[in-house]
Amino acid sequence: MIQTILKNSTLLIALATVTLMANQSQILEKACQENNATACYEVGLPMIQGDNAKVQDIREKGMSYMRKACLLDEYRGCDEMGDRYYKNENYGIARTYLTASCKRGIKSACESVGTIYRDGHDVKPDDVLSREFYEKACTLQSGDACYNVAIIYRGGFGVTKSREKEKEFYKKGCDAGLKAGCMKFTELDNEDKGIETGLWADIKAFIN
């Protein structure tokens, strides 16, 4: 008896939750139709996330809401547009949104544009622009971006090779929490101080 009551109660709660969510969605849709930018963003966001993003019709509807939110100056909608286009490898469209997002200080957007220029995704590869966007992401505490800038100075891609700058950006990557940045900075710093590192140093330490 008690189990039946609990089961029925759980079912009623679930139905009430679904109804509430449906009503909320309808309210947001109506507000969006009246050009409420935040409502457009909030009604569209669940449509482009999780399993919904795998269903083309739902995803496209969600993107239409994001597009409207963006046009109404809800910049979170613009940020989502850039991120989704990038993940779907529509790099030409993504770059426009991501560049604007980067200017507003969105770290992931700066990283993505840096990669687009580095790898030549729907654009001519440009080491200089790649470095500029990675550096911006680095200032926003992206350890990976800092590491990428270090590699650029190591290889001399669009810049004069510089061990000093390479170390500097490994250190910044380390400060941003990237373990690989810490390891590379320590390795180069030890070499500069005449401290042996690497396999040979490990072998000597084992022998001694």
Shared-domain flag, residues 58 and 125: no
pLDDT along the chain (208 residues), means of 10: 54 46 76 94 93 90 95 96 95 97 97 98 97 98 98 96 97 97 94 71 50
Token pair, residue 58, equals 């739902």
Claim to verify: residue 112 and residue 81 sit in the same structural domain: no
How many angstroms separate the CA atoms of 198 and 107, rounded? 33
Return the pLDDT at 201: 54
Same domain for 56 and 111?
no
Question: How many structural domains comprise the chain?
Answer: 2
Which CATH number covers residue 186? 1.25.40.10
Q: What does residue 104 show for φ and ψ, rounded to 5 degrees?
A: -90, 5
User: Residue 199 has what pLDDT?
Assistant: 53
Give yes or no: residues 59 and 151 share one domain: no
Task: Give the single-character DSSP code of 38.
Answer: H
Residue 28 lies in a domain: yes
pTM > 0.85 = no
**Same domain for 4 and 60:** yes
Q: What confidence score (pLDDT) does residue 197 get?
A: 62
Are 200 and 142 found together in one domain? yes
Q: Tell me which residue of 199, 196, 194, 150 sits closest to 173, measured CA to CA.
A: 150
Does 121 lie in the same domain as 181? yes
d(CA 25, CA 32): 10
Together in a domain, 118 and 202: yes
Domain range for 178: 107-208
**86 vs 79, 90, 99, 189, CA distance in Å?**
11, 6, 12, 37
> Given this model, what pLDDT does residue 2 score?
56
In a domain, 102, yes or no: no
pLDDT for the residue 11: 52
Q: Is residue 207 located within the same domain as residue 111?
A: yes
